[in-house]
Structure 1
Amino acid sequence: MSRNSKAVVSFIVGAAVGVAVGYFLNSDKKEEWVGKLKYQTDKLKDKFRNKKQQLEDAIENELT
């Protein structure tokens, strides 16, 4: 891919992201989307914490 085509693709992707953000900020469902995103983020954080704890426990068991 040439430099110019990469620049065009980057511009198009940036414009699409800008449109999506603009739509999101002006949407009536913004609060619903934020709530869903926060819920999913919290679930993901809990999964990572659990995996981290399991890994720490496994390491501790191997060292003792």
Structure 2
Amino acid sequence: MSNSSKAVVSFIVGAAVGVAVGYFLNSDKKDELVEKLKDQKNRLKEKWNKRKDQLQDELENEFA
């Protein structure tokens, strides 16, 4: 694929993402979407912290 073809594809994908984001930000479901994203962020943060704590415990046990 040539550089100009990649640029055109990138532009089209970027424009589509921009349109989708604009649609959601201007829709009535914006607040619902934001809440879902916040919930997902919190779940991922909890998973990450749990896994981090497990790894810390394993390392402490390994070097104790």
TM-score when normalising by structure 2:
0.96
**Aligned partner of residue 47 in structure 1, secondary structure:** helix
- Cα shift at 1:11: 0.3
Identity %: 69
Equivalent AA in structure 2 for residue 34 of structure 1: V
TM-score when normalising by structure 1:
0.96
Higher relative contact order (CA 8 A, sep 6+): 2
Aligned residue pair count = 64
Structure 2, gaps ≥5 residues long:
none
> What is the match of residue 9 of structure 1?
9
Structure 1, gaps ≥5 residues long:
none
Root-mean-square deviation (CA, aligned residues, Å) is: 0.6
